[in-house]
Structure 1
Amino acid sequence: MQTILYARVSTADQTSAHQRTQAEAAGFKIDAVIADDGVSGVSTILAERPQGKRLFDMLRRGDVLVVRWVDRLGRSYADVTETIREFMRRGVIVRTVINNMTFDGATTDPVQMAVRDALIGFMAATAQAQGEATREAQKAGIAHARDRADAYRGRRPSFTREQFQTVRDRSELVGVSEIARETGLSRQTVYRILQSPADAEAALGRWEA
């Protein structure tokens, strides 16, 4: 009979050592640590992670699987609930460091079973909700960064690199109206390019980067 800590490390500020320290501080005596580094709980279910597969192979009846919380097993409601129930079917006891929850398939009392299953569902749903909130926050952060970058670059030029070059090349040969007809640009745009070609080229450069 062994006690195994499973740690999923998805970001740089998480470590398996930190999760083991938390578990031991909570009173768990850990025999081994199995960790998946740089793995998302949203996109990769436990059974498809390199060390997750190993976990399924090595756990036996009577063993204890310790996780910091159920979100280490996954961020999908269906994945988390099925994973915990599969381990219970195998006789593995699943315990969490946070809130000291225990999920034991040996329970036969109907009331205890109902409470256990309700807790599994609630905690799995919470893990998924947190995962979705994190994903939305990341999307919002990316959009904000993109908006800031766009603001720094200024207004997008109304002309292309090819049009800019045509204006420069033709300015010694024909007038503004002819250049406007050839390029499809407005006369005002042609004037702006000719009056300040360095600024026009810099604007193109910021948006081409």
Structure 2
Amino acid sequence: MTTILYARVSTIDQTIAHQEAHARAAGFAIDTVVSDEGVSGVRVPLAERLQGRRLFDMLRSGDTLVVRWVDRLGRNYQDVTDTIREFMRRGVIVKTVINSLTFDGATKDPMQQAVRDALIAFMAATAQAQAEATKEAQRAGIDHAKANSEAKYRGRKPSYSREQFDMVRDMLGQGTGVAPVATATGLTRQTVYRIKDDPVASEAALVEWRL
């Protein structure tokens, strides 16, 4: 039985290494890392990604698939739910680093199946909703940057990267407390609070500094 980490990054500011380090720090013994870089989770289904296709070929019954969160599989409700259910049908256990969720197709109890399937649906819907919210925040950030493009002073350079910003938004969206988010991202609590309290301005700062 093999434990495979699937990592996906969609921008140059995100890194596969960070997702792997986060998974190992959470206690996962990773045998193999499969990753797609520069791939949108909204527009490109997992089965159509180069390494996503490889992942479908590699996983066997009894294997464990680890992802930072379900949004690494995709940010489209139908794609994510179909993907997780397909893996479960194959006997693959799907686990997330954030929130320590486990999706296992082994249970035959109808009540447990109902709870599991409802959780999958909720997580997939949340992933899509967050993608849409992030897109709106980016649009607002770009508008803000354009409106202030003539200003000579851009303010202090953000103390967080695009990947850290996305991770903070993801974890806060799942109800994770500020302290655990700060620990997981390597940011100070003050920085996490700043992103939490004004995500549009935080996004705008990244855009203004082209981060």
Q: TM-score, normalised by structure 1?
A: 0.69
Structure 1 ranges of 4+ moved more than 3 A: 145-152
The amino acid across from 1:57 in the alignment is D
AA aligned opposite 1:41: G
Which AA in structure 2 matches 1:121?
Answer: A
Q: Distance in 2 between matches of 1:82 and 1:146?
A: 40
Give secondary structure in 2 for the equivalent of 1:35: strand
Deviation at residue 149 of structure 1 after TM alignment: 4.6
Q: Give the C-alpha shift of residue 9 in structure 1.
A: 1.0
Q: Shift of the alpha carbon at 1:52?
A: 0.6
In the TM superposition, residue 13 of structure 1 has moved relative to its aligned partner by 3.2
Determine the structure 1 residue equivalent to 2:207. Answer: none
Which runs of 5 or more residues in structure 2 are unaligned? 153-211
Q: Offset at 1:150? A: 8.3
User: How far apart are the structure 2 equivalents of 1:102 and 1:14?
Assistant: 25
- Structural mapping, 1:153-164, within 5 Å: none
1:191 is aligned to none
| Shift in alpha-carbon separation, 1:15–1:151, aligned structure 2, 3 A | closer
Number of the residue aligned with 2:95: 95
Q: Percent identity?
A: 74
Please, what is the CA RMSD of the aligned residues? Answer: 1.7
CA distance in 1: counterparts of 2:7 and 2:72, whole angstroms: 6
Alpha-carbon offset, residue 39 of structure 1: 1.0
Q: Are residue 86 (structure 1) and residue 109 (structure 2) matched? A: no
* Cross-structure match for 1:172: none
- Per-residue deviation, residues 140-198 of structure 1 (Å, max 9, x unmatched): 2223333445899xxxxxxxxxxxxxxxxxxxxxxxxxxxxxxxxxxxxxxxxxxxxxx
Residue 23 of structure 2 aligns with which residue? 23
Amino acid paired to 2:139: K
Q: Which amino acid aligns with 1:122?
A: F
- Where does 1:61-140 land on structure 2 (aligned, <5 Å)? 61-140=61-140
Q: Distance in 1 between matches of 2:55 and 2:64?
A: 11
Q: How many residues align?
A: 152
Unpaired runs of 5+ in structure 1? 153-209
Instruction: Provide the secondary structure at the position in 2 that maps to 1:60.
Output: coil
Cα distance in 2, alignment partners of residues 151 and 5 from structure 1: 44
| Structure 1 equivalent of residue 58 of structure 2 | 58
1:13 and 2:13 matched: yes
The yes-or-no answer on 1:46 pairing with 2:46 is yes
Larger Rg: 1
Secondary structure of 1:39 counterpart: coil
Amino acid at match of 2:16: S
SS of the aligned residue for 1:66 comes to strand
